Amino acid sequence: MTAPNTSPAVCPRCSDEALRTVAHSPVPDVWEVLQCARCLYMWRTTEPVRRTSPDAYPERFRMTAEDIATALEVPAVPPLAAR
């Protein structure tokens, strides 16, 4: 069993401190899913450091509070394709 990475103190994408745990692994203490209250970024604690650490998160995908406040719209989720 792989233990989860240490939960970050801030969001990897926007550096906000308001994080919440959304889900826990079915097997205790394996992983958690966290979500940022400001930018809504979600990640599993077992993801690579580039997805879980603010220092390693790709700069081109980072967001500031101003980016979020001035966003023209949140992209809509497209409808499911017919099968």
pLDDT of residue 74: 75
Q: Are 45 and 4 in contact (CB under 8 A)?
A: yes
pLDDT of residue 46: 95
In tens, the pLDDT along 18-54 reads 999 999 999 999 999 999 999 999 999 999 999 999 9
User: Looking at the predicted structure, is the pLDDT value of residue 2 above 80?
Assistant: no
Closest CA to 37 of 25, 52, 21: 21
In tens, the pLDDT along 3-17 reads 455 566 899 999 999
